[in-house]
């Protein structure tokens, strides 16, 4: 059977655009003689729709699109396209429309609804109750949706489900398992998916066609990587990662692939995966929110240098503006490093807006009323910079990218209405040590990513990190070394582990670990007001980590 893997980049709620993408893929499939065409989960509406799926008329509009698409599907072809459908009881179900012979023959409904991490599907959908198996061209094709196959095996928080749709497919004699997915990117998860697919295929003795969504949607990135796996668990074809793709695999002539396919060239190392995810997530966040340009503050530090490189790779350096905002405490070296970043990347615009006049004016305004020493004075500088980048955004229509990393968000070393200003935090799910690792990788392999020269100034990597809000300040004045801090945070945040576990993992004193834990808990009010953070890890700040603001530590 010729199976078309239609890995499209749907935009949530843009039904006209999504319909066009489906129509183009179906047309290509007809030209190739494909007999089965599989789209990602909720491909007609886009994933995740969140509460948009509840809006009046949305499900009906998706159904109308499915009916129109069906008219282009001949008897010889079976098309499975994702959409929400109305159902009895709770009004909606997450489904695949079964299109063949010019009509909708029925629907396959998602049975296992994830409600962990960023998923909240049982908020909107009722679960399906059976595995649908379709006879087509001499094969029995089971239509499943995402969790029906993965069953949380690709997540850290394992869930136990009362039913197994895959076992039902086997019991009903399925020879091909067609799985429509919208599985968000997590660094390293592609390798996990590869192993799961091989195991599942062997367990049921059937081919598996797995199509995953691709593209950025708010905080989530979908990395594609759709693939076909034979009944003995061998990968026999697939799509590119981090890009739209359309691939046809013929099961009658499929051979195992010992390595990456001709269109799958992403190195499996985590720095490379994360960089591609940051670029795709940034590009689509800008495009899907109606922005064609970006602005960020450049301090000469490694975080802003890396964000500038991500932005340049995402939308083209000519569409990125870097704003230098030196203060009375900014070193000449930092200003030079910020300029070097602009030149290395070839940014389209650089402006220098010194903040000392603003700083002095505010100090004068509040003299004798409020103190401007210590934390208040330091945050005043950050907020002056935040005002300027937002003014620049209003004046140009460009989106502000904020440059905070996960270590800073975790400990509260970010300033509300200052350096936290912006619409998107591209590296907000990268620990500081991961920021350094990615920067070094880019400087070594820069040409692979389209850069003409190493994109990160060497001094930004080698110098001691500092916010430069007071004389001779460094981050390690009040934080442990980032290697130690990140080891603690990986236990407390990523693993939700205990203080004792964090002590063992980091080899840090218990008093220091307890201090970091307090910082983590106290900073929740800031994180709840942060820009959208691209999810790169199993446990990112944002929708997947829903902590109360006013609460005890629970420790």
Q: CA-CA distance, 481 to 340, in Å (whole number)?
A: 26
Q: Is the peptide bond between 33 and the residue preceding it cis, with omega within 30 degrees of 0?
A: no
Q: CA-CA distance, 145 to 70, in Å (whole number)?
A: 20
Report residue 441 as tokens: 């990788």
User: CA neighbours within 13 Å on the CB side: how many for 316?
Assistant: 7
Contacts 24+ apart (CB under 8 A), 367-374: none
Q: CA-CA distance, 91 to 125, in Å (whole number)?
A: 7
Task: Select from 211, 243, 241 the least CA-distant residue to 81.
Answer: 211
Sign of the dihedral defined by the CA atoms of residues 202, 208, 213, 214, in that order? positive
Task: Select from 204, 232, 63, 202 the least CA-distant residue to 140.
Answer: 204
Catalytic residues: 41, 110, 146
To the nearest 10°, report the CA torsion of 117, 122, 124, 128.
130
Strand-pair category, 92-100 with 103-109: antiparallel
Alpha helix (H) residue ranges in 35-171: 58-70, 147-150, 165-171
The strand pairing partners of 109, in sequence order, are 95
Task: Select from 409, 406, 418, 431 the least CA-distant residue to 525.
Answer: 409
């Amino acid at each position: 059977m010729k199976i078309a893997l239609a890995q499209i980049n749907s935009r949530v709620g843009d039904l006209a655009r999504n319909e066009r993408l489906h129509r183009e893929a179906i047309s290509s499939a007809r030209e190739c003689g494909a007999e089965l065409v599989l789209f990602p989960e909720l491909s007609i509406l886009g994933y995740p729709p969140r509460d948009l799926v509840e809006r009046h008329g949305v499900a009906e509009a998706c159904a109308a699109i499915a009916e129109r698409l069906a008219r282009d599907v001949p008897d010889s072809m079976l098309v499975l396209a994702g959409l929400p459908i109305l159902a009895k009881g709770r009004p909606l179900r997450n489904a695949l429309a079964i299109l063949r012979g010019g009509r909708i023959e029925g629907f396959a409904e998602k049975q296992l609804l994830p409600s962990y991490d960023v998923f909240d599907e049982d908020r909107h959908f009722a679960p399906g109750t059976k595995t649908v198996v379709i006879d087509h061209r001499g094969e029995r094709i089971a239509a499943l949706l995402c969790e029906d196959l993965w069953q949380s095996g690709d997540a850290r928080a394992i869930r136990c489900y009362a039913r197994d749709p895959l076992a039902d497919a086997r019991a009903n004699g399925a020879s091909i398992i067609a799985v429509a997915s919208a599985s968000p990117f997590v660094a390293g998860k592609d390798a996990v998916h590869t192993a799961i697919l091989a195991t599942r295929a062997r367990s049921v003795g059937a081919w598996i066609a797995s199509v995953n969504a691709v593209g950025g949607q708010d905080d989530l990135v979908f990395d594609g990587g759709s693939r076909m796996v034979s009944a003995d668990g061998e990968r026999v074809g697939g799509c590119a990662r981090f890009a739209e793709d359309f691939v046809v695999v013929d099961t009658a002539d499929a051979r195992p692939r010992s390595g990456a396919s001709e269109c799958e060239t992403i190195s499996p190392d985590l720095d490379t995966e994360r960089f591609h995810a940051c670029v795709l997530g940034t590009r689509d966040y800008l495009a899907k929110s109606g922005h064609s340009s970006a602005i960020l503050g450049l301090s000469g530090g490694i975080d802003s240098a890396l964000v500038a490189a991500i932005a340049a790779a995402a939308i083209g350096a000519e569409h990125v503006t870097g704003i230098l905002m030196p203060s009375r405490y900014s070193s000449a070296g930092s200003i030079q490093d910020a300029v070097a970043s602009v030149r290395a990347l070839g940014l389209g615009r650089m402006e220098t807006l010194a903040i000392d006049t603003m700083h002095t004016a505010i100090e004068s305004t509040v003299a004798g009323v409020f103190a401007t020493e210590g934390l208040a004075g330091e945050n005043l500088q950050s907020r002056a910079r935040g005002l300027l980048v937002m003014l620049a955004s209003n004046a140009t229509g460009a989106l502000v990218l904020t440059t905070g990393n996960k270590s800073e968000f975790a400990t509260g070393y970010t300033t509300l209405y200052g350096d936290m200003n912006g619409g998107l935090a591209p590296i907000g799910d990268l620990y500081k040590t991961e920021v350094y690792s990615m920067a070094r990788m880019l400087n070594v392999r820069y040409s692979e990513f389209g850069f003409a020269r190493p994109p990160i100034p060497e001094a930004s990597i080698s110098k001691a990190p500092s916010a430069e809000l007071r004389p001779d300040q460094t981050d390690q004045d009040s934080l442990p070394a980032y290697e130690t801090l990140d080891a603690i945070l990986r236990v407390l945040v990523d693993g939700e582990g205990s203080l004792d576990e964090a002590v063992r993992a980091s080899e840090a004193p218990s008093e220091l670990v307890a201090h970091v834990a307090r910082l983590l808990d106290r900073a929740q009010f800031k994180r709840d007001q942060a820009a959208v953070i691209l999810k790169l890890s199993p446990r990112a700040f944002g929708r997947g980590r829903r902590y109360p603001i006013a609460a005890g530590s629970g420790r």
